[in-house]
Structure 1
Amino acid sequence: MSRAVDALLRPRLMALAIGLAAPLASPALFAAEQSAVRAYDVPAGPLASTLNQIASQAGIALALDPALASGRTSAPVNGQYNGVGALQAALLGTGLQLQQGSAGSYSLVAVENNAIALPTTDINASLASVDGSAAAGYRAENVRNVGALGAMKLQDTPYSMSVVSQEFLKNTQTTSLDDVFKRNPATQLYGPRAAGYASAVAIRGFSGSGNMNIANDGLRFSNGADAGNFIEDTEQLEIITGLTGFLYGPATPGGLINYVLKRPTYERYNSVTLGNAGGDNYYLHGDFGGKIDEAGVFAYRLNVLTQDGETAIDLQKHRRQMISAALDWNVNDDLQIQFDASHRKNQMRGLSSYWFVPAGVERPDASSLKNDKLYSQKWSFSDNETDKAGVRANWRLNDTFTLRAAFAAQQYTDEFTYTGPTMVTATTYRQPIYAFAPIETEEKSGSLFLDAAFATGSLQHKMTVGYQGNTSRVKQYEDHIPYPSWQYQSPVGTVPIGEQPQVGKPGWSIGHGDQRLANSAESNNFLLGDIITFNEQWSTILGVTQTQIKSYTNEFVYAKAFNQPETETKYNKSKTSPNISIIYKPVHWLTTYVTYIEGLQSGSVAPSDALNAGQALAPQVSEQYEVGVKATVGETLLTLALFNIDKPNNYKNSQGFYVQDGRQENNGMEFSVTGKVTPELTVVGGVTLLDPKIKKGEIAANDGNAPTNVAKQLAKVYSEYEITEVPGLALTGGAYYTGKQYTDEANRTSLPSFTTFDAGARYKLRMDDSAVTFRVNVANLTNKQYWLNSFYLGDPRTLQFSAQLEF
Structure 2
Amino acid sequence: MELKPIVIEVDRQKSNLTPVYPGGQVAAGAGLGILGNRGDLESPFSTRAFTSQLAQDQQARSLSDVMINDASVSQTFPRSSYRDVFRIRGFDYFTYNVLLDGMPGMLPKQRIVPQNFERFELLKGPDTFLNGVVVGSAVGGSINVVPKRAQDEPTRRLTLGYSSDAQPSISLDMGQRFGKDNAFGARTNLTFRDGDLAVDDQSERLGSATLGLDYQGDRLRLSADMGYQKSHTENPDWAFRLAPGANVPDAPDSTINLSQDWAGFDSKDYFVAVRGEYDISVVTTGYAKLGYAHTETEGTIAFPSNLQSNGDFSVGGTSFPSGGNHRYAEAGLKNHFDTGPVKHDLVVATSVWDLDLKAGFANLGIGGSSNIYAPVAFAGPASGSELTLDKIGKTTESRFTSVVVADTLGFADDRFLLTLGARSQRIVTKGYNATSGQQKSSYDETRLTPAIGAVWRVRPDISVYGNYAESLQQGPSAPAGTTNAGEVFAPVVSRQVEMGIKYDADKWAGQLAYFAIHEPTGITDAATNHYGLDGEQRNRGVELTLQGELRDDLRVLGGVTVYDAILTGSAGGMVDGNQPIGVPDWQAVLGLEQDIALVSGLSVSGRIIHTGEQYADAANMQKLPDWTRLDIGARYEIDRPDSNPIVLRASVENVLGLNYWSSASTGQVSGISRGAPRTFLISTSFDF
Q: Following TM superposition, by how much is the alpha carbon of 1:178 offset from its aligned partner in structure 2, in angstroms?
A: 2.5
Amino acid across the alignment from 2:404: L
1:708 and 2:581 aligned:
yes
Deviates more, 1:506-515 or 1:739-748: 506-515
**Which residue of 2 is the match for residue 86 of structure 1?**
none
2:663 aligned residue (770, 780, 789):
789
- Aligned counterpart for 2:39 among listed residues 153, 158, 171: 153
Deviation at 1:205, TM superposition (A): 2.2
Q: Which residue of 1 aligns with 2:29?
A: 142
Match of 1:772 among 623, 643, 646: 646
Query: In the alignment, which residue of structure 2 is the partner of 1:18?
Result: none
Q: Deviations over 1:385-421 (max 9, x none)?
A: 0111111012111101011211111101011212133
Corresponding residue of 1:519: 396
- 1:250-261 pair list within 5 angstroms: 250-251=133-134, 252=137, 253-261=139-147
Show structure 1 runs of 5+ residues with no match: 1-26, 37-50, 61-82, 84-130
TM-score normalised per structure 1: 0.79
Q: CA deviation at 1:588?
A: 1.1
Distance in 1 (CA, whole Å) between partners of 2:183 and 2:24 is 33
The one-letter code of the counterpart of 1:685 is G
| C-alpha distance 700-58 of structure 1, shift in aligned 2 (>3 A) | same
Q: RMSD of aligned C-alpha atoms?
A: 2.8
Tell me which structure has the larger Cα radius of gyration.
1
Q: Is the 8 A contact 1:638 1:674 kept in 2?
A: yes
Residue of structure 2 equivalent to 1:218: 102
1:800 paired with 2:681, answer yes
Partner of 2:258: 375
Q: How does 1:356-755 map to 2 (within 5 A)?
A: 356-366=241-251, 369-423=252-306, 425-427=308-310, 429-436=312-319, 438-476=321-359, 480=360, 483=363, 486-487=364-365, 489-490=366-367, 493-508=368-383, 509-511=385-387, 514-536=391-413, 537-556=415-434, 568-607=440-479, 614-651=486-523, 658-755=531-628
Normalised to the residue count of structure 2, the TM-score between the two structures is 0.92
Structure 2 distance, partners of 1:712, 1:453, is 44
> Which deviates more from structure 2 when the two are superposed, residues 505-514 or residues 175-184?
505-514
Match of 1:298?
184
Runs ≥4 residues deviating over 4 A = 32-36, 51-57, 209-212, 480-483, 511-514, 607-613, 652-659
Q: Determine the C-alpha separation between the residues in 2 that align with 1:281 and 1:776.
A: 15
- Native 8 Å contact 1:353 1:374 kept in 2: no
Could you tell which deviates more after superposition, 232-241 or 530-539? Answer: 530-539
Secondary structure at 2:53 match in 1: helix
Distance 2:9 2:512 in 1: 33
- Cα offsets for 1:724-746 (capped at 9, x unmatched): 33232111111111100012212
Give % identity. Answer: 25
Alignment-derived partner of residue 667 in structure 2: none
Q: Which residue of 1 aligns with 2:226?
A: 341
Flag the structure with higher helix content: 1
Match in the other structure for 2:669? none
C-alpha distance in 2, partners of 1:540/1:355?
47
The 8 Å contact of residues 555 and 613 in structure 1, kept in 2 or not, is answered as no
Residue 271 of structure 1: CA displacement? 0.4
Q: Please name the residue that 1:11 is paired with.
A: none
For 2:12 and 2:394, the matched residues in 1 are separated by 45
By how many angstroms is 1:212 displaced? 8.3
Partner of 2:668: none
Tell me the distance in 1 between the aligned counterparts of 2:6 and 2:423. 31
What is the CA distance between 1:362 and its match in structure 2? 3.4
Residues 267 and 297 in structure 2, CA contact (< 8 A), matched pair in contact too: yes
> Which consecutive unaligned segments of at least 5 residues does structure 2 have?
665-671
C-alpha distance in structure 1 between counterparts of 2:247 and 2:10, whole Å? 64
Q: Structure 1's 550 and 225: CA in aligned 2 closer, same or farther, altered over 3 A?
A: farther
Supply the distance in 2 between the matched residues of 1:196 and 1:467 (Cα, whole angstroms). Answer: 35
How far apart are residue 625 of structure 1 and its match?
A: 0.6
Counterpart secondary structure, 2:166: coil
Moved more, 605-614 or 321-330: 605-614
1:52-71 superposed matches below 5 A: 58-59=15-16
Question: Could you list the per-position Cα deviations for residues 753-775 of structure 1 after superposition, in whole angstroms to 9, with x for gaps in the alignment?
Answer: 11111111101112123220001
* Alignment-mate amino acid for residue 264 of structure 1: A
Residue 481 of structure 1: how far off its partner (Å) = 5.0
Contact 1:417 1:433 in 2 (8 A): no
Q: Is the 8 A contact 1:307 1:319 kept in 2?
A: yes
Deviations 1:34-82 (A, max 9, x none): 999xxxxxxxxxxxxxx9999976438xxxxxxxxxxxxxxxxxxxxxx
Higher strand share: 2
Q: Which residue of 2 aligns with 1:312?
A: 198
Task: Kindly indicate whether the alpha-carbon contact (under 8 Å) linking 2:95 and 2:110 is maintained by their aligned counterparts in 1.
Answer: no
Change (3 A) 1:614 1:357: closer
Distance 1:234 1:425 in 2: 43
Q: In the alignment, residue 763 of structure 1 is paired with which amino acid?
A: Y
Which residue of 2 is the match for residue 265 of structure 1? 151
Residues 1:168 and 1:53: Cα distance change in structure 2 (over 3 Å) = closer
Checking the alignment, whether the CA contact within 8 Å between 1:137 and 1:682 is kept in structure 2 is: no
Contact 1:555 1:614 in 2 (8 A): no
CA deviation after TM superposition for structure 1 residue 652, in Å: 5.7
The answer to whether structure 1 residue 275 and structure 2 residue 182 are counterparts is no
Partner of 1:220: helix, strand, or coil?
A: coil
